[in-house]
Chains A and B, each alone.
Chain A
């Protein structure tokens, strides 16, 4: 069996495993069954292993770190999301969070499977400007950072739902099983606290790379600018949190806004804005 076929299998396994996990996590929201949700955790682990294999195979096939085209970015992104989610599940033991995080990973893979044109999925040679170790650091930190922001997105959405139920004095079993508002707020913050330093490294390593490649550490290319905008939004979140005590729903909304900006940096810039940085997709 050649490597490309193997890579296709790895993609299929990742896709099916994340989908199964996402569906079971969602069912678990309304139907408490611990044995069932263990299958979801297992699915996430299997998917994560297959996702890792997928990245490894792509690395072998293209003989460079798999961080270059849109396909490689996205499967790295899903790797970051699933990895961070497993870490959070192991640390906090709230499996309901999975229903708000794993669908994001699965939807990104569904985008590859359904919408992305096949020629954009192939392994490509590196153009000279991309042949840099800084690129590897740049994208590797980006995927973990974005994974952490995705997790914070999930717990922020949960916070808003839970708060809504509390305000309506909901006595539903669903409300009771949800982690408390304090915990959700705390987890959202903790993962932004992981993502933010990494996002800083993403931006700085990108600037170092640009300095080596073109002699311009910053050129206001839309992708650069959008990563800065994302950074500014999370920086504002952190300052508001510590100074004005912006917790709870306002913090949750800012975390959601931040992730929208992450996604826009990822997709929007490639499809809606033009620029020299268009390696990510188009």
Chain B
């Protein structure tokens, strides 16, 4: 923590020490205290934020390649033990810091104490002194009224002729950072749950139109009791186009079949099926084609290929490449190549032979299939709750800016002396304008 002299300096004013409540001194120099103080220190927190920023930058520049797919793996760097230790330290720092600040938070919510000295008020940076006619008690009532009008909570105490008033507004703002820090801890917990591998999974399934797929056929399914498995029937896969030919949306029409609970659902991009904690996302699609081809040296040779795979009758340099299958018209779109040159592109109905020079192809069956990614992550609602807390906390921090004002009204010759001063870390100008308003009210 920053050096905290008795005189609050403007920058350090955020420390929620009211006068008469000195911060716990850390003179006990045993090792537990030292470690505790280190872990709770704001210095560590800021350093961790900046180190995380720097390390994250490195991770976006130095991206490892997945040896299997040859693609860049962005997440890999952030799943290393080194990065996890950083996150763990941040979580610990936030936790310890939150525990440490608990007392300060409850004190702030309770309101500033009234046992403060005149010297304390004089030592404040924002301070005004006014001499007035009238008794201190009457004057104090006017000060209270003015403060109340500006939205301050009032606490006061009278010692003989002297009245002390402590007041604050925006005190709930102190909950803001607290909620934000809590949200981080919650989110880190959710991430740890996800990467522990003990709950949920990240899987994939594919199904041909008409097929019923059981969850047991999902690749990568785990952490789920097989008695909870259900079936998914793939009724149709559709691609919706815009008039200009661009893809508007991909749909997988499915039926969930689960022990008497049966319902239809259309899965499309940005519209996953969510059922029993599982989510099904439209991920990919394709078609399978089977049939027979004939060439100079072969007759009615069976084949089975996917989209953009080659069918080349032996003894020819002709290649047929199926591109897509339209489930509605039941026609196959395919290209014909001679050597390396495309010579034709056409649609042909099922079971209709197509001949080019000496090569002939006949598609007998075409099936559209869809690929869904299947996920279960019990951490998602936790992340969601954490996100809401995060935003609530950040908004509260900035919307409710704590201001505290202390006033001492003491008797003077022919009247009373008002000494009024305050602290606001986040809104010094707001505080000053409150003080000025009070002064000008008295002068008018």
Contact = CB atoms under 8 A, between A and B. Distances in A.
Interface in B45-99: 45-46, 49-50, 52-53, 56-57, 59-61, 72, 74-75, 77-78
A125 B42 contact: no
Interface residues of B, number: 55
B391 A220 contact: no
Contacts of A236: 46, 49-50, 53
B52 A217 contact: no
Contacts of A219: 74-75
A24 to B, nearest CB: 29
Given A233-B53, A242-B425, A274 B72 contact: yes
Interface in B376-401: 377, 380, 383-384, 387, 390-391, 394-395, 398
Contact of B14 (A212, A242, A247): A242
Interface of B: 1-2, 9-12, 14, 42, 45-46, 49-50, 52-53, 56-57, 59-61, 72, 74-75, 77-78, 242, 244, 246-250, 268-272, 279, 281-282, 373, 375, 377, 380, 383-384, 387, 390-391, 394-395, 398, 425-426, 428-429
A235 B281 CA distance: 34
Please list the 9 inter-chain residue pairs (A to B) with the smallest Cβ-Cβ separation, ordered nearest first.
A245-B11, A128-B269, A232-B53, A242-B14, A222-B60, A236-B49, A243-B42, A193-B398, A204-B387
B59 A225 contact: yes
A246 B12 CA distance: 9
Contact of A197 (B53, B77, B250, B398): B398
Contact of B9 (A183, A222, A245): A245
A274 B72 CA distance: 9
Nearest to B373: A215
A8 interface: no
Contacts, number: 125
A214 B11 contact: no
A217 B187 CA distance: 12
Contacts of B268: 128
Contacts of B279: 215
Contacts of B387: 204, 207-208
A127 B78 CA distance: 29
25 contacts: A128-B247, A128-B250, A128-B268, A128-B270, A131-B269, A132-B270, A182-B429, A186-B428, A186-B429, A197-B394, A200-B390, A213-B269, A213-B281, A215-B272, A217-B383, A219-B75, A225-B60, A225-B74, A229-B56, A232-B49, A233-B50, A240-B46, A243-B1, A243-B42, A245-B11
A203 to B, nearest CB: 9
Given A241-B11, A274-B72, 17 more contacts: A128-B282, A129-B270, A196-B398, A197-B391, A197-B395, A200-B394, A212-B271, A213-B281, A215-B272, A217-B383, A219-B74, A225-B56, A228-B56, A229-B53, A232-B52, A236-B46, A273-B60
A125 B246 contact: yes
A54 to B, nearest CB: 23
B269 A129 contact: yes
A241 to B, nearest CB: 8
A239 interface: yes
Contacts of A245: 2, 9-12
A165 to B, nearest CB: 22
B45 A239 contact: yes
Contact of A125 (B72, B242, B271, B426): B242
B9 A204 contact: no
A245 B15 CA distance: 11
A214 B74 contact: no
A278 to B, nearest CB: 12
B248 A128 contact: yes
B24 to A, nearest CB: 17
